[in-house]
Amino acid sequence: MLLCRVWIRMTTEHRDGPVVVTGGAGAVGSVLTRTLLSRDATVRVIDNLSSGRREHLPVQPGRLFLTVADVRDAEATAHEYDGAREVWHLAANTDIRRGTSNRRIDLELGTLATFEVLERARQADVPKFFFASSSVVYGWPKVLPTPEDYAPLEPESLYAASKLAAEGFCSAYAHLYGMRMFIFRFANIIGPGMTHGILYDFFDKLRRDPSRLEVLGDGRQSKSYLRTEDCVDGMLLAGERANEAVNVYNLGSRDHISAREIAEKVIAAHGGHARIEYTGGVRGWSGDVPVQLLAIDRIEKLGWKPRWSSAEAIDRTISEIAAARGIRP
């Protein structure tokens, strides 16, 4: 009966309905939005422009609508979900470290915001829901590469807790209301248009003082990086091919790269003269998970492969940032 309800929805008003993308002006969201537009979708972006930017989005009157609002703002987003065939909930606090000084921000912008978006999607009978979660829900995993059915899930930061919490509510909404759910646990996603992350941190530090580069921790923290384009391709493919009530997929590359190697690459892009100074300790910051490498067999079985390895993704993004900032080695 549930399947029947979903089917009726899909075959009537929702099939050609617009796609809602929260955080759609952000680094991942804007790549998703452009890809959806290239596939003839009508897209409604909800973004408060806290880290997203208007200029990340093309101007396509009648096809792309941007509502500048917090996703929790019921009034401003009252009709955004009407008739939508999919909701992609990517809006979140993008700065994990911010949660250590403002303890409520991830609860608010992660968990509560997700609950509100789920509830709006339910009210509008949206049949498919996509949620951008994170590899940090695994905590510091004892198994590498870490598969989707790894346990225990032991978040070590409030950002991680807020993502696990949001996943839980996504799962409940899927089971209770027949919304097909897609949950993606991201490796470190990098690409143009970001405002935070290790690369921007290093570039900013070298701009302030080109002679030295402070690296948080001992530099041996090692993580997997994935380009925004690969990330978006993976999510779209899973949305087409995965058929469970709740579909959970890791999205990362097959290798990882240490903070030290990344520091050396960024220094090389600046001419290679800075010396590295480590702050020490195995973690970059309180709540940081020092190792992250995701098993991606599940999504690869659907037919997806990352085009770039972690090292290639880092190289590509360094070149883009350097070019944008007019830096020549």
Q: Name the site residues for its own copies (rule: CB under 8 A).
A: 100, 103, 107, 111-112, 115, 119, 137, 139, 148-158, 160-162, 164-169, 171-172, 175-176, 246, 248, 286-287
Task: Answer whether 302's CB lies under 8 Å from 242's CB.
Answer: yes
Shortest distance in whole angstroms from residue 195 CB to its own copies: 23
* Residue 115 or 278 having the CB closest to its own copies: 115
Strand partners, 249: 184
Distance of CA 275 to the CA centre of its chain: 32
* Residue 164 or 267 having the CB closest to its own copies: 164
Shortest distance in whole angstroms from residue 172 CB to its own copies: 4
Burial tier of 242 (Cβ tally within 10 Å: 0-12, 13-18, 19+) = middle
* Residue 160 or 232 having the CB closest to its own copies: 160
* Residue 146 or 309 having the CB closest to its own copies: 146
Shortest distance in whole angstroms from residue 127 CB to its own copies: 18
Give every CB contact of residue 290 below 8 A, 6+ residues apart in sequence: 140, 217, 220, 221, 222, 282, 283, 284
* Residue 175 or 241 having the CB closest to its own copies: 175
* Residue 111 or 222 having the CB closest to its own copies: 111
Residue corresponding to tokens 């703002």: 73
Shortest distance in whole angstroms from residue 136 CB to its own copies: 10
3-state SS of 245-299 is CEEEEEECCCCCEEHHHHHHHHHHHCCCCCEEEECCCCCCCCCCCCEECECCHHH
> Taking Cα atoms as reference points, which of 132, 313, 141, 144 lies closest to residue 232?
132
Helices (H), the chain: 2-11, 27-38, 98-101, 105-106, 113-123, 158-177, 198-208, 228-241, 259-269, 297-301, 310-324
* Residue 46 or 166 having the CB closest to its own copies: 166
Shortest distance in whole angstroms from residue 158 CB to its own copies: 5
Shortest distance in whole angstroms from residue 275 CB to its own copies: 28
Cα distances from 23 to residues 28, 138, 145, 170, 211, in angstroms, run 8, 24, 29, 17, 37
Shortest distance in whole angstroms from residue 140 CB to its own copies: 9
